[in-house]
């Protein structure tokens, strides 16, 4: 498994630093976040290093996504939480602090005050359409 020597999540995957492990399979690992934003906050990583969504392999992404679903079910069963956010940050501007792809599972309760949601404000349909065309043209198989 390709690891990056100064990556904290590679070190967790390698067992070089401890974690509260929840689940692992050949390609992914789930463990508790040690700075939880809510009780039960946990993280899923592909074992193979890749900084973000654009850098990881499709296999790593699929493994992490399937593990996220499995762990989310267990978090809900354990905490009987009313909701769950899955969060995945790419780049400093998006709030990414650890440069090894990861998916957050964040348990939510009604009116818990977490500033993660936004009000629905209708957009400019013409501008949305123009952007859709530009993005479509940049999609590669």
Rule CB under 5 A: which residues touch Zn ion? 4, 7, 9-10, 49, 100
Catalytic member of 41, 49, 102, 104: 102
Using CB atoms within 10 A of its CB, is residue 139 exposed (0-12), middle (13-18) or buried (19+)? Answer: exposed
CA separation, residue 70 to residues 20, 24, 30, 116 (Å): 17, 11, 10, 23
Name the residue nearer to ligand 5GP (CB basis): 22 or 63.
22
Q: Which of 55, 33, 34, 38 minimizes the C-alpha distance to 46?
A: 55
Question: How would you classify the pairing of strands 28-32 and 21-24?
Answer: antiparallel
Q: Which does 89 bind (CB under 5 to 8 A by kind): ligand 5GP, Zn ion, none?
A: ligand 5GP
Given ligand 5GP, Zn ion, none, residue 47, with its beta carbon under 5 to 8 Å by kind, binds none
User: 104 catalytic, yes or no?
Assistant: no
Binding-site partner at residue 65 among ligand 5GP, Zn ion, none, CB < 5 to 8 Å by type: none
Q: How far is the CB of 126 from ligand 5GP (least distance, A)?
A: 34
3-state helix, strand, coil in the chain (%, to 5): 30, 20, 50
49 binds, among ligand 5GP, Zn ion, none (CB under 5 to 8 A by kind): Zn ion
Rg (CA), the chain: 17
Residues at the interface with ligand 5GP (CB under 6 A): 8, 19, 31-35, 43, 89, 95-98
Q: How far is the CB of 89 from ligand 5GP (least distance, A)?
A: 4
And the tokens for 36? 């939880």
Positions annotated as catalytic residues are 102
């Amino acid at each position: 498994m390709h690891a990056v020597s100064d990556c904290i999540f590679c070190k967790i995957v390698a067992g070089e630093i401890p974690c509260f492990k929840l689940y692992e399979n050949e390609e992914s690992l789930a463990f508790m976040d040690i700075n939880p934003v809510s009780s039960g906050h946990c993280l899923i990583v592909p074992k193979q290093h890749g900084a973000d969504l654009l850098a990881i392999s499709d296999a790593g992404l699929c493994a992490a996504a399937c593990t996220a679903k499995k762990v989310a079910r267990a978090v809900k069963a354990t905490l009987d939480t009313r909701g769950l956010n899955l969060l995945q940050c790419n780049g400093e501007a998006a709030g990414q602090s650890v440069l090894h792809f990861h998916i957050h599972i964040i348990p939510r309760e009604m009116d818990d005050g977490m500033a993660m949601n936004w009000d629905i404000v209708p957009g400019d349909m013409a501008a949305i359409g123009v952007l859709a065309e530009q993005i479509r043209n940049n999609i590669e198989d």
